Amino acid sequence: MKNKKYNLQKVTGLGLVTTMILFAGCSKSFLNREGAGTVNATQFWKTQADATAANAIMYADLHSYDELAFPAIAIESMGSDDVTKGSVPTDATFMNEYITFTVTPGEGQLEGFWTGVYNNINFANQILTNVPGISMDASLKAQYLAEAQFIRAYDYFRLVRAFGAVPLRLHPPATAADYNLARTPVAQVYAQIEADLTAAAAGLPATYSSTEIGHATKGAALALHAKVAMYEKKWSDVLTYTNAVTALGVYSLFPGGYEKMFRTQNKNNVESIFEIQNALIPNEPSESNSQYSQVQMPRVTEPAGGWGFNDPSPNLIAEFESGDPRLAATVIYTGGTTAEGDVIDASAPDPYYNYKSYVPFAEYVSGYNQGCQQDFIVLRYADVLLMNAEANANLGNSSAALASLEAVRARARNGNSAILPPVTTTDQTTLINDIWHERRVELAMEFDRHYDVIRQGRGAAVFGAIPGSKYVAGKSEVWPIPQNEIDLSAGTLTQNPGY
C-alpha cells in the first residue's frame, strides 16, 4: 500500500503531536488516491476529495509497522502457547518476555503498539469530527462516517483487550483538558465500541464494487460486534450478530483449499469479511512498506526469505488431530517443500515457520520488503461460525452448536471421511472444549489464541505451563501501560496492577 507521509494531527494516547495534514497516496483498489503534498489543517476538510483522501489515510495506516509488524506481533501473538520467538536466539530477545509474561512497562513494543493504534483512532476521530461539515454526496458522507466508526471500534477493541482500561478519545483535542486523558473504565470502553459498531452496521453497505473492495462492510461491523460481545460473554448477542452475518448471504467458507485461502492470489475471497490491504506497487519500493509478512517469512538464504519471527510451537502442532490438513497449511517445515514448490533450506535456524503469512519466493521483487503484498485477514467466516457455535453451546442449543462446528470441520475434512469425524457430544462442557479446540487449530497464527485463552479464564492454567512463564492471575491478563505514556501524563495515567 502506498503511503505518503500521513499525519492528520497525529495523536497518541496522551495528546496532540503535530498540526499538519498530509495527504496519503495509495495504489490499490479504493486506496488509489494520489497525494498532493502537504496541506495545512486550516485548508483541509473543505471538499469531498478531502474526505476521500482522509478515508484512504485511515485505511493505509492500518498496515503501519506499529500496527501490523513487530509491536502488533508482540502484543497480540507472542503471549501464547501457539508460538515461539523464532529467528536466531540472540535476535530480538525481548520478544521472549511476552511469551513468558515477564515484560516490563519500558519494553519498546508496548509504546509502539499504543501510539500506533491511537494514531489510527485519531484519523477516525478527525473524519467523524470534520466530514459532517463538508458539502458532498450524502450517501458517500454517511459511508465514510460509518467506516470511521468501524475502524475506531476495531482500534479500541485492540487496545482494551491488550491493556484493559485505556483513555477513551472520541474527538481531536480541542481544549487543554483534552490533551491528557485518564484511563476510562473497561465497561465504558466496551460500551463505546458497541455503540460505534451498531452505527457502523446501520450505515455500511453489504458489498462494494470491485474497485472499492477493502472498505469495511455491514458484515464486518456485525462480525466484529459478535466478537466484542463474545469477550463480554453476551451470548445472546453473539448469536444475533453471527446469524445476521450469515443472513446477508455474502460469505461462505472458501472452497479452493484451506492453504490457498491465505495466498495473495485469493485476497478478499468469499470467506474474508475484513482484511487489511497491502500491496506491492511497481516502481515504489519505499511505499510498498507492509512488514507483516517480512518479519515472519522463513529465515533462509534466498533473497525472498524474511526475519523468521513468530513461529508455530510444538505445542500448537500437537493440538492438530491426526490427518488434519490444516496442519500442513499452517506450518512450514524447515527442510521441506511448500505447496508452491519452495524448498526451505534445512540449515534455517528454526524448525517451523508461519505458513499463513508466507508469500511464495517467486513473488519476491528485488528491492521490496519480502511479502509486502500479503494482506492480513482480521475477520473471516469460519470465525463467525465458531463464534456462533460457542454462543449456541453456552445457551444450551447443542444441535445448532454442532451444526456450525461441523461446517468448519467438514471444510477442513474436504471429503475425506477418514479424518476429523463429526463432533457429536451434547454435554455442554465437553462441547465448549471441542469448540475451543477447533478455534485453536482453525485460527492458528491469526492473532487470536492469546486473547481467546484469557477470555476463557484459562490463562494461568494454559500460559502458566509455558516453560519459563511467570504468568500471574489478576495481572497477566493485560499488558503493562507503556511507561513513557505514564511519564508524559505526569501521573494521570496509572499502571496496571502488578507492574
pLDDT in tens, 124-145: 999 999 999 999 999 999 999 9
Non-local CB neighbours of 378 within 8 Å, separated by 6+ positions: 154, 273, 274, 275, 276
Count the neighbouring beta carbons within 10 Å of the beta carbon of residue 307: 20
Among 181, 58, 52, which residue's Cα sits nearest to residue 119?
58
For residues 39 and 263, the model is more confident at: 263
- Decide if 1-214+459-499 and 231-274+313-358+378-445 have a common fold: yes
Residue 477 banded pLDDT, cuts 50, 70, 90: very high
**DSSP assignment of 310-361:** EEEPHHHHHHSPTT-HHHHHHEEETTSB-TTS-B--TTSS-SEEESTT---G
**Residue 80: what residue type?**
S
DSSP run (H or E) holding 439: helix 428-442
The residue written with cell numbers 484512504 in the block is: 56
Tens digits of per-residue pLDDT, 325-368? 999 999 999 999 999 999 999 999 999 999 999 999 999 999 99
The pLDDT value given to residue 19: 31
Buried b (16+ CB within 10 A) or exposed e, 336-354: eebeeebebeeebbbbbbb
Please report, as a single letter, which amino acid is at residue 231: Y
Centre a 10 Å sphere on the Cβ of residue 375 and count the other Cβ atoms it contains.
Answer: 23
What is the spatial distance between Cα 318 and Cα 298, in angstroms, rounded to a whole number?
Answer: 21
pLDDT at 270 over 60: yes
The contacts of residue 327 (CB under 8 Å, 6+ apart) are 317, 320, 441
**Rounded CA separation 25/244 (Å):** 35
pTM of the model: 0.93
Distances from the Cα of 405 to the Cαs of 381, 392, 444, in angstroms?
12, 10, 16
Average pLDDT over every residue of 48-53: 97
Q: What is the mean pLDDT of residues 378-390?
A: 98
Phi-psi region of 335 (alpha: psi -120 to 50; beta: other; left: phi over 0): left
**Which run of H or of E encompasses 38?**
strand 38-40
* CATH fold label, 231-274+313-358+378-445: 1.25.40
Percent of the chain with pLDDT over 70: 92
Provide the 3-class DSSP secondary structure of residue 112.
helix
Distance CA 44, CA 166 (A): 30
207 pLDDT above the threshold of 50: yes
Does the pLDDT value for residue 8 go beyond 80? no
Q: Per-residue pLDDT tens for 279-334?
A: 999 999 988 999 999 999 999 987 889 999 999 999 999 999 999 999 999 999 99
pLDDT cut 90: percent of the chain above it: 88
C-alpha cell at 237: 448477542
Domain limits of the chain?
1-214+459-499, 231-274+313-358+378-445
What secondary structure does DSSP assign to 366-419, as a single string?
Answer: TTS-TTTT--EEEEEHHHHHHHHHHHHHHTT-HHHHHHHHHHHHHHHHTT-TTS
C-alpha cell at 422: 463429526
H/E stretch holding 119 reads: helix 108-130
Task: Quote the CA–CA distance of 457 and 454 in Å, as a whole number.
Answer: 5
- What's residue 40's pLDDT? 66
Query: Average pLDDT, whole number, for the chain?
Result: 92
Phi, psi (degrees; rounded to nearest 5) at 85: -60, -45
Q: Which CATH class is domain 1-214+459-499?
A: mainly alpha
Q: Return the DSSP state at 479.
A: P
Q: Considering only 89-93, 172-176, 426-430, which range has the smallest mean pLDDT?
A: 172-176
